[in-house]
Amino acid sequence: MTGQAPSSVVLVRPHQFRPNPLTASDNAFQHHLAASDTEVARRARAEVCGLADVLIAAGVEVTVFEDEGRATPDSVFPNNWLSTHADGTLALYPMYAANRRAERRTDVVEHLQRHFAVHRMLDWSSAEQEGRFLEGTGAMVLDHGARVAYACRSRRLDADLFAEVCADLGYAPLLFDAADRRGMPVYHTNVLMSVGTEVALMGSEMIRDHAQRDAVLGSLRESGREVVELSEIQVQGFLGNCLEVTGREGRCLVMSTRAAGQLSPGQRRAIERSCRILTTPVPTIEAAGGSVRCMIAGIHLPPR
């Protein structure tokens, strides 16, 4: 399927995972782990395997790439450097942290070119040399049907580059500001919100400007979606960091066990009217500041 919920995904299994010291200053979701590097790496590998197993059991096509090096601590989050689109576009993005730039992998790109119909390559990674960044579908949340790109301002997203990318990809940009109660900007839009086929999860209370908040909620509702409002506490628990995928029995919303544990009965009912909820524990990887959605690069390309 090449709509909002992909049926094929890419994961990266790290062998030397650790929270990235170069991203801690602007990622309020990141924290230190009190365990040895060897134990942290072991747990992270097991969590990627667990996510792969849950997706495969649901009938999602999963391709797992290995990362055995120590130079790329955040490689478990491939959605930040790569996006794919139903018109055959494959896009590469500029990364804020210098040690994240080596995450871009030719073997992943070549795999997609072999197995899917890639008609166009767009590469914005050279913007790193100008100090301009846009970390893929972490920085942007894309509504593929309504052709709207949602994005909150942060160090990880240059507003002018965002406008350029949207123009090239054919999305209308919707840029806004979001911050926690302490005033720390939300570092990636995909921890704040998730757009599915019929339901959107949105931590709108973190958009402090009421006009901006109304614009985002209005756009989501005009697209025909039911909006499930999330509290700031739920956002901090990664409930917004989920992704709708398509399995053999239909659509599923995959999220961490921690995130799912925060759902109210009403929120759960609203989601389950549209899709099934899949869960897997990823506490070690969440210490790096991202959860299940960050771990998944959804493939929207048409098959060969």
Least confident of 38-47, 133-142, 143-152, 158-167: 38-47
Domain presence at residue 71: yes
For residue 28, what pLDDT is reported? 78
120-123 and 89-92 strand pairing: parallel
Residue 1 resides in a domain: no
Asked, for residue 102, whether it belongs to a domain, the answer is: yes
Cα 136 to the center of its chain, rounded Å: 8
Evaluate whether residue 18 is within a structural domain: yes
pLDDT band at 73 (very low <50, low <70, confident <90, very high): confident
89 and 169 in contact (C-beta within 8 Å)? yes
pLDDT beyond 70 at 2:
no
pLDDT at 31: 75
- Rounded to an integer, what distance in angstroms lies between the CA atom of residue 243 and that of residue 191? 11
2 contacts 290 by C-beta, under 8 angstroms: no
Question: In CATH, what number is assigned to the domain containing residue 150?
Answer: 3.75.10.10
- Over residues 103-129, the mean pLDDT reads 97
With respect to residue 3, please indicate whether it lies within any of the assigned structural domains: no
- Separation CA 269–CA 177 (nearest Å): 29
Examine the pLDDT at 120 and tell me if it is beyond 60. yes
The confidence score (pLDDT) of residue 284 equals: 95
User: Is there a domain that residue 304 lies in?
Assistant: no
pLDDT band at 20 (very low <50, low <70, confident <90, very high): confident
- pLDDT exceeds 50 at position 252: yes
In terms of residue numbers, what domain contains 216?
8-299
Q: What is the pLDDT of residues 95-106, one digit of tens each?
A: 999 999 999 999
CA distance 69 to 48: 16
Q: Report the pLDDT averaged over residues 52-66.
A: 98
Q: What is the pTM of this model?
A: 0.95
Instruction: Answer yes or no: is pLDDT of 86 > 70.
Output: yes
Q: Is the pLDDT of residue 212 over 60?
A: yes
**Sheet-wide strand order for 276-280:** 243-247, 250-256, 276-280
Computed over every residue of the chain, the mean pLDDT equals 95
Domain contains 252: yes
97 occurs within a structural domain: yes
Over 90: is that where the pLDDT of 142 sits?
A: yes
Give the pLDDT band of residue 151 (cuts 50, 70, 90). very high
Determine contact, residues 252/246, Cβ cutoff 8 Å: yes
Quote the number of domains for the chain: 1
Share of the chain above pLDDT 70, in %: 99
What is the per-residue pLDDT across 30-43, written as a single tens digit (0 to 9) for each?
777 778 889 988 99
